[in-house]
Amino acid sequence: MGIWLTASVSGFMVISTIGILLPAISAELGLSPLQQGMLGSAAYWGNLALAVPLGWWTSRFAPKVLTTVTMILGTLFLLAQAFAPGFAALLLGRMAFGVSIIARQPARAFLTQQWFPSRQVVLLNSISNAMFGLMVGGGVAASPFILMALGDDWRGTLLSFVALFAVMTALWMIFGKERVTSEYRQRLAAQEVSVLKGALRYRDLWIGGLGFVGATTAWSGFLSFYPTLMLDDYQMPLIWSGGILALGIFTGGLCGLGFGWLVMVSDQGRPILLTTGAAMAATFVAMTLTGSLPALLALTFVNGIAWGFWPVLYSVPFHLPGIRPREVAVGLAVIQMMSSAGIALGPLATGLLQEATGDLGRSLAMVSLASLSLCLAGLVMKHGLSGRRSLAPEPAAPATGD
């Protein structure tokens, strides 16, 4: 499971470095603010239309095979980006890379259920969140140095990511394995309703997804445009702005471990969402109003603590009453789709607001308020915030087939 999570997080690390590479890409290709926003969100466009049908379809395949195929495709799509001759080709390459990531997610749902009992899922996702913080934060922090060492060559930087992805693919092919028990086979066979209808009937699944939409909208807007804001308005080098973003990601990953443990032992998911949503919105707005490095380090540290909510909300599909293995895979695809919707919306909204107002700082501040959706999710969710799954399924109309 550790190998799978590391390989998966590597893909998100590659996507998240776009804000560091964007000034160099824009200088070479002559991109407008809207085109920059499109490039920042392109990796998640395919997810909006394909996450649920892909989750349903790819949940038919064994996780070992599914992960191997999607990792190989992801490496090839990343290589295509490095050699893209223009904006359109680069955009298509990022879209295809994003689709390969979302297609792999059912494997995570199956492997989690094969290797871990329900009460440990939040803690596992907390460990995953910590890995996300370390690898994505490390990638964002290291990217300016790689870019500088390669003479501001964004294509060479992408090729270094291709090499990393190829190594992770090889490690999974060698060491990845499954654990199929008789109890797991029984649960897999006991699909009392159709997989899609069975998963989509859960109200809390959609509420959790909406919570992700706002949070990821604010985050992706910052990830794509904050280095440019600091460079243009405060003459802050990319090394420092990248470090600020990386600190927040690091902190969020580590704090997720604490929040995950708290939910596992006390089921305190609701107050966590209420508190972190408010803190996230406030610190994002404040970060657009100052160029003081000490103040920004303090603000991004608090913002990172707020991002510890991630494993709590991401574990919702595993804890819904009576949900079955393939339904968990589809439910996880729904969460991923909603999260991707926010990530795709953030850079686009920021770019459009910048073109309308001419003020990038104000545009980022407005987009930041979307993270208050976490507070709304915390207020209205019923079952998904518990660290334990109920055995009784929610009522649903009978159906047959997949």
What's the whole-number mean pLDDT along residues 264-287?
85
Give the DSSP letter of residue 116. S
Whether 217 is in a domain gets the answer: yes
- Higher-confidence residue of 277 and 103: namely 277
Whether 120 is in a domain gets the answer: yes
Asked if residue 341 has pLDDT above 90, the reply is: no
Q: Evaluate whether 106 touches 57 at the Cβ level (below 8 Å).
A: no
* DSSP H/E element including 223: helix 203-234
Residue range 175-207, pLDDT digits in tens: 888 877 666 665 555 554 466 666 677 788 888
Q: Token pair for residue 292?
A: 């003081």
| Domain at 78, CATH number | 1.20.1250.20
Under DSSP, is residue 401 helix (H, G, I), strand (E, B) or coil? coil
Which of 365, 343, 379 shows the shortest CA–CA distance to 270? 379
DSSP secondary structure string for all residues of 247-272: HHHHHHHHHHHHHHHHHHHH--HHHH
Residue range 324-338, pLDDT digits in tens: 777 777 787 788 778
Residue range 287-316, pLDDT digits in tens: 999 989 999 999 999 998 888 888 788 778
* Cα Rg of the chain, angstroms: 20
Whether 148 is in a domain gets the answer: yes
Q: How many domains does the chain have?
A: 1
Residue range 106-163, pLDDT digits in tens: 888 888 878 887 777 777 878 877 787 778 778 877 888 888 888 888 898 889 889 9
Residue range 59-98, pLDDT digits in tens: 678 888 898 999 999 999 999 998 988 889 999 998 899 8
Whether 392 is in a domain gets the answer: no
Asked if residue 401 has pLDDT above 60, the reply is: no
Whether 229 is in a domain gets the answer: yes
Q: Evaluate whether 307 touches 251 at the Cβ level (below 8 Å).
A: yes
Q: Measured between alpha carbons, how far is residue 4 from residues 71, 110, 207, 241, 311 in Å?
A: 10, 12, 28, 30, 17
Mean pLDDT over each residue of the chain, to the nearest integer: 81
Which pLDDT value is given to residue 399?
38
Whether 157 is in a domain gets the answer: yes
Query: How far apart, in whole angstroms, are the C-alpha atoms of residue 272 and residue 55?
Result: 29
What's the whole-number mean pLDDT along residues 34-39?
80
Domain of residue 320, residue span: 2-380
Amino acid at 211: G
High-pLDDT (> 90) share of the chain, %: 16
Would you put residue 321 in left (φ > 0), alpha (ψ -120 to 50) or beta?
beta
C-alpha torsion sign, points 34, 139, 100, 54: negative
Assessment of whether the complete model's pTM goes beyond 0.85: no
CA 346 to chain centre: 13
